[in-house]
Amino acid sequence: MKIVILSTISKHHTYFINKIIKNFNSTYVIFTKVNLKKKYKVGPFYFKEENKFEDNFFKKKENISRKINKKKIIFKNVKNINSKVVEKKINHLRPDIGITFGTQLIKKNIYNLPRFGFINIHRGLTQFYRGLDSDLWPLLEKRFNRLGVTIHYIDENYDTGGILSQKKIHLKKKNEIFHLRYITTILATEILINILNKFNKKKYKLPSRKLFNRGKYKSSMPIQFKYIAEKNLNNYLKSL
């Protein structure tokens, strides 16, 4: 099975991509740039702590390399993931399935190219939270049972496609807010490998569950709200 992944360069994306390559050799990667410019401040927010934590645990997790094989990378710094150049490359590659993780919204000219379509990794539960920082908005609203991961097909809107799989995460007393990206990435990777194995075995587009109740679209969380979310999380974990 041939796979194309659209993503950005980061520690958790590198872990995810290398896990997919390890399990499915015919995997190719297009890296894009995502520049989110907001009129309000969104960070830095525990940037050093998050990187240090991920350096330690992603390295331990099955000894996955921090570097991606250059032969697997089609483009490294694409500004527009929906450009004709990208469309031409994917079309030439003729993938069975496409995966997005942490990119801008891809359009119909791209998500219709693979045989089974494109699927997205969303680090949240789409019936409650769509868009950005979906692991933080539940904390701000003290909805701790709404933390999780969704793997869904891509359509024309943000995080509204049919759901292939969804799982909640259950935090432990020792967790910190800067652990969330690691926890959700590990879970998403495990779920997705299982889904890809099904695609590989069945050789057809898998059925999905329609998203009947769309969560509100949320943009990047302002930094002052992030500290409130952290306080809410810490109080919740103390109660466990």
| pLDDT digits 0-9 by tens, 47-76 | 999 999 998 888 776 667 778 999 999 999
pLDDT of residue 59: 75
pLDDT of residue 39: 92
pLDDT of residue 63: 65
Backbone angles phi, psi at 123, to 5 degrees: -85, 60
> In whole angstroms, what is the distance from residue 87 CA to residue 35 CA?
21
Q: How many beta carbons lie within 10 A of that of residue 51, not counting itself? A: 13
Per-residue pLDDT, averaged over 70-83, amounts to 95
Q: How far is CA 81 from CA 52, 101, 207, 231, in A?
A: 30, 12, 27, 37
Q: Is the pLDDT of residue 187 over 70?
A: yes
pLDDT of residue 220: 96
Please state, for a pLDDT cut of 90, what percent of the chain lies above it.
92
> In whole angstroms, what is the distance from residue 149 CA to residue 151 CA?
7
Q: How many beta carbons lie within 10 A of that of residue 20, not counting itself? A: 21
Amino acid identity of 94? R
Q: Is the pLDDT of residue 28 over 80?
A: yes
> In whole angstroms, what is the distance from residue 128 CA to residue 125 CA?
6
Per the CB < 8 A criterion, the answer to whether 8 and 33 are in contact is: yes
pLDDT of residue 171: 95
Question: Across the strands, what pairs with 131?
Answer: 218
Nearest to 189 by CA among 54, 26, 23, 9: 23
Per-residue pLDDT, averaged over 14-36, amounts to 94
* 3-state SS, one letter per residue, for 97-123: EEEEECCCCCCHHHHCCCCCCEEEEEC
pLDDT of residue 62: 61
> In whole angstroms, what is the distance from residue 198 CA to residue 202 CA?
6
Q: What mean pLDDT value characterizes the chain?
A: 95
State the DSSP H helix or E strand holding residue 137, giving kind and residue range, or none if neither: helix 137-140
Per-residue pLDDT, averaged over 123-128, amounts to 98
Q: What is the pLDDT of residues 140-180, one digit of tens each?
A: 999 999 999 999 999 999 999 999 999 999 999 999 999 99
Q: What is the pLDDT of residues 129-141, one digit of tens each?
A: 999 999 999 999 9
> In whole angstroms, what is the distance from residue 50 CA to residue 176 CA?
10
Per the CB < 8 A criterion, the answer to whether 41 and 223 are in contact is: yes
Question: Across the strands, what pairs with 217?
Answer: 130
